[in-house]
Amino acid sequence: MVDELTDDPPRPEAYSTPVARQMSVRSVIEAVLHRGPISRAELARITGLSKQTTSEVVRALEDGGWLRVRGQTQGAVGRSAVTYEIQQDAAFVLGVDLGGTKIHAALANVVGTIVAEEMEPTDSRGGLAVVEQIGALAERLARKAGLAPGGLRCAAMGSPGVVDPRSGKIEIAPNIPGFDRIRVADELERRLGCAVVIENDVNLAAMGEQWQGCCKDVRNFAFIAMGTGIGMGLVLDGRLARGASGAAGEIAFLPVGGDPFDSRGQFHGPFETAIGSVAILQRYRGFGGRMAEDVRGVFAQLAQGEEAAIATLDETARVMVQGMMAIRAVVDPELIVLGGSIGVRDELISRLRALVARHLGGALRIEPSALGSRATLVGAVGTALSRIHDSLFGLTSLQSDFALPAGKATETA
């Protein structure tokens, strides 16, 4: 895999050490990201750098195409100062939300504004055919945005399954056949011609909520996606928890809702087997329900007051709260965010809150995803931006105390 991005921005030579140069560039870039347009005098005041050093850093970044003049401010006694902002088109990133049925991709500029976006069905052949599909999709987005060849600096993709952080291999991704037999990150890097970060899709959804959703000021939270299956992204002390092999958050395998030693549940996990969409429909049938053909139908019958649908949601919520109790006992999150087609339903969330209030004293806050179906895509864009900011300017990552600018990853320019 490509470990570092190339074409570092020019750094002024007036500093005594590479570390000092990196810190100076980082300080200026971070200040412009958060406060621009901004003058050199204001940059010097905010960063604590001397005026001469600030001017040299600004000049080098402007010459390298990372800063541009925005305008002028009018000071006292007619004096004015030039203001600078980030050159938004200096670099672009690609965010990809890969699912078993669809691929959702977006191209964003260096400040996080999405400039092109498309969605299409996932190639059912899987493997290298999906890699090629993502490459072709990236090329279409680049043409749509008028991006010059080589302008894509980094891509991040959210994928179902367990992503090994050491090898980049994807395991347990049954909806994408053949992905467990190739080094997906390597293949994508060859196809896209840039650095590629691959992360579990629910982990990226959690990072999306941390960047632009309902968890901006929350240091410890869990994002649980509940739909066909169930998965969790876990953020502790502001950082994504991946575990030793990338399997942290695979709550489908919690020994809740079924026998963990029953071989019938070893593929999907006992918790998912008890709470996924198939289980909900089976539960509905077990309670005597006959009118619904899928989970959406169960919710429709719930709105009609059907007893079988009411019992189904009550029991589903009870099993779900058992899982939440286990999560709370181990990591004690401040907040649990629910996403996915089932998780965001008000009918389920109200039941979960009532059970938590009754059995946990209301100590656990539950909220629906603020980003909805775009959470993984937003997280992918934010992760790719974090990577290029860190590699080019020495900024800390999205998972640290540094926050990326409040860009528009939920909008298209």
Q: Give pLDDT, residue 69.
A: 86
Q: Give the tens place of pLDDT for each residue, 364-385.
A: 999 999 999 999 999 999 999 9
| Strand ranges across the sheet with 80-86 | 38-39, 80-86, 67-74
Q: In a 10 Å sphere around its CB, with 0-12 CB exposed, 13-18 middle and 19+ buried, how is residue 89 labelled?
A: middle
Structural domains of the chain, with CATH: 18-86 (1.10.10.10), 89-201+378-393 (3.30.420.40), 214-369 (3.30.420.40)
C-alpha to C-alpha distances, 376 to 25, 309, 342, nearest whole angstrom? 31, 30, 16
Residue ranges of the chain whose pLDDT lies below 50: 1-15, 396-403, 410, 413
Q: Give the tens place of pLDDT for each residue, 170-215.
A: 876 767 888 888 889 999 999 999 999 999 999 999 999 999 999 9
Q: Give pLDDT, residue 404.
A: 52
- Return the residue matching tokens 């092109």: 116
CA–CA distance, 348 with 226 (Å, rounded to integer): 11
Q: Give pLDDT, residue 292.
A: 96
CA–CA distance, 138 with 183 (Å, rounded to integer): 19
Q: Give the tens place of pLDDT for each residue, 291-312.
A: 999 999 999 999 999 999 999 9
Q: Give pLDDT, residue 228.
A: 87
